Amino acid sequence: MSFEQEFDEHHAWRKLFAARLKTLSEWLEARDLMDAGVRERLDRAREQVNADKVTVAFVAEFSRGKSELINAIFFAGYGRRIMPASAGRTTMCPTELGYDPEVAPCLRLLPIDTRLQPQSLLEWRSAPEKWERIDLDVNDPTQLAQAIEKVAEVRRVSVADARALGFWHDETPEDNPLPGADGLVEVPHWRHALINMAHPLLKQGLVILDTPGLNAIGAEPELTVSLLPQAQAVVFILAADAGVSKSDLAIWREHLAPAAERRDARLVVLNKIDTLWDDLSTPEYIEAQIQRQREHSAQVLELAPSQVIAVSAQKGLLAKVRGDEALLAESRLVDLEQALSDGVLVQRRQILVGQVREGLATIRAEVEQRLYARDRELVEQLQELEGLRGKNSTVIQQMRRRIEQEQAEFESSGARIQAIRSVHMRQLKDLLGLLGSTRLKAEVAQLAEALRQPGIKFGVKKVYAEAFDRLRDALGRAQTLGAEVQTMLGASFRDLNTEFGFALQLPDQPDFSRYLEDLQMVERNHLQYLGLGNVLKLANPEFGERLTKALMSRLQGVFESAANDMDLWNKSAAAQLDTQLRDRRRNFARRAEAMARIQLAAGGLDTRIEELGKAQLASERTRAALAQLTGLDADGAFTELDPALAEPAVAAAELPADPASWGEAEEVRTPV
């Protein structure tokens, strides 16, 4: 399938999963099986799937045909170029294309002068009034293309201004722009561009990141510290007739290879193979040339040859616009689309399916634990009532008094349970404190101060390494403290299970190993800015400030995710205790109500035993339905639902017919 077809399937799967989550949520609510922990897990799963984005970043030096490639893959349906790709008109600033339904279609442009200020791109995103905005008509290809041409705008500045903006480097004069007769040089007019439009692929969660040129990448730390490493795929474009140039290799080594945690997420495109088409050469000779360039490029970039794909973006776009299948095949654009489908969407789907399967399995385990507690109470009630057969009213009255005594003893345990909560919350507060923003800022304070200092920053690598050692230690201490909380709660839950017949079972403690891996990736991606090649950049306090803020933004994401995992673990544990306390109170109310009915009517005992038998059958159906609702096969397909099992209120038989007789169940809530 083409990239577009594969993306449609990916989007359809996400919609199907969102619908399944909605069904599961309503089903749990109808059976009183929803607690705070399960609701939180469902909400997170729903948000994870609904907000899932697939980011494909296109990176290249100027004149490699990058914008033309984007046009060919994503915008050929407009029948013309949308991204500026004609001679002398190319994307000059990093450009993100996505879709936000809360914002009208528009192009937003951040002036290049904002580089002289310390705010990060993330901070500028929160100040929309600082961006120039142009409304877009997505139904008018001409207006759309004309508006987007603004990303190619340049301005002429002095060498001093170019140096301050990050486009002039005295240590690498061969890479600097050529001054004109007036001594001025051209620099991009804009620092960053955001395009919001309702393109079908963008609406389904695709984000396209167009990143032009070595200077543009190197001057924006957030691109290589945040945006590029988090892209699901990076497409690096070379010119087929030139291969890997010096500046190409600089981009790859300095900004892409360090971020390549998964090398299969990196595709290299040898574009413009049509420049090798020659009427004087045989097809075999042309093919041999293309293969030599592929193999050489793969060797230089240390990739598998299969990750280097030769295409002609210009011929591919022309073929799609004209509907010329022969030219499309000759352009080899389909090979790239297939590689994107297999290497990005298939793998993204596998990751998402794995995360969804894990979440559904946890939800199922927590709900089954509650069903187990209910089943045990049903059995105990049946045994209790079966023992009353043939007994006189005096025995039944004694049984009623015994139930009331058990209930009083249970309620007297409130102080002990509250003490467990207090210790738990105190430990949790200490744990979350290790992962909070205040502690994070304290851990990187020395590094931030070192980067802010003017002049050459000797010894900054040592300060940097020490900062990350402290961050790893903070995550390690949080993991250790979490284990201590787990041990304490585990012992308390076992005591409560023994004394009151609960079925409390702690959820697994979050594993921070993946966050330590994330930390290591951030460290590697950021370390490139501390090398000799960036000595003069680092000497600029404003650049150091931007670097610090880009780093803090990534680190906050890692630590917030770790804290969210601990918070969810806490809610799941607390919700179990709340739920079983509430269910036990309801059980006492039901037992007392049953005794009252038995005393009032001769047939009350048989009626209640019959009700409990029906409740046991309903419980079996509930388990079967739960297995179906949370089922997912190896390919991510959902288990087909039996309509009879999904009918509402099948579990209501476990309660007396008159809701007024159920008794008031006090809600017990744990502060988080």
- State whether 369 and 308 are in the same domain: no
> Helices in 126-158 by DSSP H: which ranges?
141-148
> Is the Cβ–Cβ distance between 367 and 38 less than 8 Å?
yes
Residues 6+ apart with CB under 8 A from 619: 371, 374, 375, 378, 651, 654
Half-sphere exposure of 660 (CA within 13 A, CB side): 0
Decide if 35 is inside a domain. no
Written as one string, the DSSP assignment of 438-449 is HHHHHHTHHHHH
Ramachandran sector of residue 63 (left: φ over 0; alpha: ψ -120 to 50; beta: rest): left
d(CA 309, CA 237) in angstroms, rounded, equals 10
Alpha-carbon distance 269 to 318, whole Å?
Answer: 18
Say if CB 440 and CB 559 are below 8 A apart.
yes
- Same-domain pairing of 210 and 126: yes
User: For residues 442 and 470, what is the distance between their CA atoms, to the nearest angstrom?
Assistant: 10
Closest CA to 590 of 650, 649, 652, 655: 655
* Element spanning 233, H or E: strand 233-239
DSSP type of residue 392: -
pLDDT of residue 273: 94
What was the pLDDT predicted at 599?
Answer: 65
Structure tokens at 303: 């990739």
Q: How many CB atoms lie within 10 A of CB 589?
A: 19
Place of tokens 């309903």: 618
Instruction: Output the pLDDT for position 658.
Output: 36
DSSP string, 615-655: HHHHHHHHHHHHHHHT-B-TTSPBPPP-TTTT-TTGGGGGS
The verdict on 317 and 366 lying in the same domain is no
Six token digits for residue 526: 């950021």
Q: Distance between CA 60 and CA 91 in Å, rounded? A: 11
93 and 149 assigned to the same domain: yes
CATH assignment at residue 67: 3.40.50.300
CB 532 within 8 A of CB 539: no
By the 8 A CB rule, do 63 and 354 touch?
no
- The upper half-sphere exposure of residue 517, i.e. CA atoms within 13 Å in the direction of its Cβ, equals 6
Instruction: Give the model's pLDDT for residue 138.
Output: 86
Q: Is 516 a domain residue?
A: yes
SS3 194: strand
Spatial CB neighbours of 474, under 8 Å, sequence gap ≥ 6? 434, 435, 439, 440, 443
Distance separating alpha carbons of residues 636 and 632, to the nearest angstrom? 6
User: Which pLDDT value is given to residue 122?
Assistant: 82
In a domain, 671, yes or no: no
- Integer Cα distance of 601 and 586 in angstroms: 22
Q: What is the pTM of this model?
A: 0.74
Q: Report the SS3 class of residue 53.
A: coil
The packing angle between helices 393-411 and 541-600, to 10°, is 160
461-464-469 Cα angle (round to 5): 125
641 Cβ neighbours under 8 A, 6+ residues apart: 23, 625, 628, 629
Q: What is the pLDDT of residue 672?
A: 29
**What is the C-alpha to C-alpha distance for residues 214 and 253, in angstroms, rounded to an integer?**
11
- Classify strands 308-310 and 266-271 as parallel, antiparallel or unpaired: parallel
pLDDT at position 532: 53
> Could you read off the pLDDT of 135-176 as tens digits, one per residue?
999 889 999 999 999 998 999 999 999 888 878 877 777 778
Q: Is residue 327 part of a domain?
A: yes
**Residues with pLDDT less than 70, the chain:** 1, 86-90, 214-219, 224-225, 257-265, 390-393, 414, 454-458, 528-541, 597, 599-603, 634, 644-672
Tokens of 625: 């339905």
Q: Classify the phi-psi angles of 598: left when phi > 0, otherwise alpha if psi is within -120 to 50, otherwise beta.
A: alpha
Whether residues 464 and 587 share a domain: the answer is: yes
Longest dimension (CA), the chain: 114
Q: What is the pLDDT, as a whole number, of residue 669?
A: 31
Whether residues 396 and 525 share a domain: the answer is yes
**Confidence (pLDDT) at 531:** 59
| 318 and 394 assigned to the same domain | no
Same domain, 367 and 315: no
Phi, psi of 187 (to 5 degrees): -135, 160
Are 325 and 465 part of one and the same domain? no
Domains in the chain, number: 2
Question: Radius of gyration of the chain from Cα atoms?
Answer: 32
User: To the nearest 5 percent, what fractions of the chain are helix, strand and coil?
Assistant: 65, 10, 25
Residue range(s) defining the domain that contains residue 378: 355-661
Contact 276, 290 (CB under 8 A): yes
In eight-state DSSP terms, residue 131 is: S
Residue spans of beta strands (DSSP E) within 53-116: 54-60, 95-98, 106-111
Q: What is the pLDDT of residue 5?
A: 79
Antiparallel, parallel or unpaired: β 185-188 and 54-60 = unpaired
Structure tokens at 584: 């036990």
Check whether residue 221 and residue 112 sit in a common domain: yes
Q: What angle do CA 433, 435, 437 make, to 5 degrees?
A: 85
For tokens 């994401």, the residue is: 557
CB-based burial, 78-116: b 16+ in 10 Å, e otherwise: beebbbbbeeeebbbbbbbbbbeeeeebbbbbbebebbe
Q: Is 418 among the domain residues?
A: yes
Residue 210's nearest CA partner among 6, 74, 312, 346 is 74
Task: Please tell me whether residues 452 and 400 are part of one structural domain.
Answer: yes
Interatomic CA distance for residues 349 and 357, integer angstroms? 12
C-beta of residue 258 within 8 angstroms of C-beta of residue 531: no
Q: Does some domain include residue 134?
A: yes
Sign of the dihedral defined by the CA atoms of residues 338, 344, 350, 352, in that order: negative
Q: Is 175 inside a domain boundary?
A: no
Whether 393 is covered by a domain: the verdict is: yes
Cα gap 104→198, rounded to integer Å: 9
Does one domain contain both 408 and 556?
yes
